[in-house]
């Protein structure tokens, strides 16, 4: 059942994604303008990167909270590793941002 | 983007150009300003040092020094005090550069990739130099080959690549953070000109200090990895 729903949603998404392209193609032939696909895809790239980095940081933060709640004495060490983990997770999203920033005109 | 127009300090420096075809960019002028602030501050501090009645400035700088020493002791451990000067310099330079952009008519030097790449390259050369000094040429190469000789062929390229990649990651992290702070502030000043930009400036201060901390702790981690003894 779930697979069917997923297939349906994917199909709808595919249809939705293609129809503006056709419309744009017709409009482009008439008006001479082209879609800036780089801007559109960079928006999605940034959204995906931010979403997954948010999930990862949430997981790291929850694990750190659990660790501190069980053993408050271990706070300094856990804090250091939490900050380091945040830095490394966050920099992955920032690489996407850097590429977006360099590519979108 | 704030780096596009020429700001007053850059204009002042470009009055005496060495080459009018290549004017001094904003980040260079404000980087030099940060450099001057640090040098003059250090000279003033040095002339006023006293054990009996330390001034406010001296006490503030002593707390910064203690913080850096604590970090070096924690991350590098034995013989960590040797690297305090470099780590502290990174911290001061990056923190002042990040915070400079909050003053109106001043630019953030670290929002330019050239500045952050320069800092990252200095860090790279510094920790590799100390790795070489500590282990010797053969020892450092062996250190890069990993703990087991059997997988050294695999480990060596990975280690070299990850070492080179640290330059990219250090520089891009700081640059992107500062750039995003500037852009966010600009966008929200355009949307709602009063009160709301102050919140983003507060966020920018927090991010600035955090990134300076990061730029202290990561070179410390890299130094500790480069000079680590294998037991």
pLDDT, tens only, B158-206: 999 999 999 999 999 999 999 988 888 888 888 988 888 888 889 899 9
Query: A92 and chain B: CB distance < 8 Å anywhere?
Result: no
Say yes or no for a CB contact (<8 Å) between B74 and A80.
Answer: yes
How many helices (H) does chain A have, and how many strands (E)?
A: 3, 0
**Given an 8 Å threshold on Cβ–Cβ distance, is B176 in contact with A97?**
yes
Query: Which helix (H) or strand (E) is B167 found in, with range?
Result: helix B152-191
Domain that holds residue A92: 36-105
Are residues B214 and B94 in contact, defined by beta-carbon separation less than 8 angstroms? no
Any CB–CB contact under 8 A between B162 and chain A? no
Q: CA–CA separation, A102 vs B120, rounded Å?
A: 20
Residues A6 and A42 in one domain: no
Query: Would you say residue B38 has pLDDT above 90?
Result: yes
User: Closest Cα to residue A95, out of B134, B171, B148?
Assistant: B171
- Cβ–Cβ of A91/B169 closer than 8 Å? yes
| ipTM for the predicted complex | 0.71
Between A and B, how many residue pairs show a Cβ–Cβ distance under 8 A? 27
* B66: Cβ contacts below 8 Å, ≥ 6 apart: none
Is the domain of A91 the same as that of A46? yes
* Residue B195 structure tokens: 């009160």
Residue B194 is predicted with a pLDDT of 87
Query: A15 and A65: one domain?
Result: no
Identify the CATH number of the domain in which residue A91 sits.
Answer: 1.20.20.10
A30 lies in the same domain as A65:
no
C-alpha distances in Å from residue B198, one per residue of B84, B178, B210:
35, 16, 18
Nearest to B87 by CA among B216, B212, B208, B193: B216
pTM, whole model, 2 decimals? 0.80
CB spacing of B217 vs A83 below 8 angstroms: yes
Within 8 A of A80 by CB-CB distance, chain B residues are: 74, 217
- Quickly state the pLDDT bin for B62 (edges 50, 70, 90): very high
Q: How many domains is chain A built from?
A: 2
């Amino acid at each position: 059942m779930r697979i069917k729903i997923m297939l349906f949603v994917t199909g709808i998404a595919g249809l939705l994604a293609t129809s503006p392209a056709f419309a744009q193609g017709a409009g482009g032939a008439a008006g001479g303008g082209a879609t800036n696909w780089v801007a559109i895809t960079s928006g999605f790239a940034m959204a995906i990167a931010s979403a997954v980095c948010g999930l990862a940081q949430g997981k790291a933060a929850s694990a750190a909270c659990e660790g501190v709640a069980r053993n408050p004495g271990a706070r300094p060490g856990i804090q250091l590793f939490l900050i380091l983990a945040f830095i490394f997770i966050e920099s992955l999203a920032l690489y996407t941002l850097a590429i977006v920033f360099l590519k979108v005109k | 983007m704030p780096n596009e127009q020429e700001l007053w300090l850059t204009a002042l420096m470009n009055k005496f150009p060495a080459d009018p075809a290549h004017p001094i960019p904003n980040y260079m002028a404000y980087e030099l300003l940060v450099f001057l602030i640090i040098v003059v501050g250090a000279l003033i501090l040095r002339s006023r040092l006293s054990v009996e009645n330390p001034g406010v400035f001296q006490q503030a700088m002593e707390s910064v020094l203690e913080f850096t020493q604590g970090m070096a002791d924690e991350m590098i451990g034995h013989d960590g005090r040797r690297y305090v000067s470099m780590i502290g310099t990174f911290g001061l330079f990056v923190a002042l550069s990040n915070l400079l952009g909050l003053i109106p008519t001043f630019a953030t030097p670290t929002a330019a990739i050239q500045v952050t790449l320069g800092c990252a390259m200095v860090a790279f050369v510094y920790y590799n130099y100390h790795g070489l000094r500590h282990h010797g040429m053969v020892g450092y190469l062996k250190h890069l080959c990993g703990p087991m000789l059997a997988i050294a062929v695999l480990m060596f390229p990975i280690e070299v690549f990850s070492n080179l990649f640290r330059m990219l990651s250090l520089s891009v992290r700081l640059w992107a953070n500062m750039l995003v702070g500037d852009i966010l502030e600009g966008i929200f000043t355009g949307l709602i000109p009063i009160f709301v930009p102050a919140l983003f400036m507060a966020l920018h201060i927090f991010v600035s200090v955090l990134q300076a901390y990061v730029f202290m702790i990561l070179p410390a981690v890299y130094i500790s990895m480069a000079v680590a003894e294998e037991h």
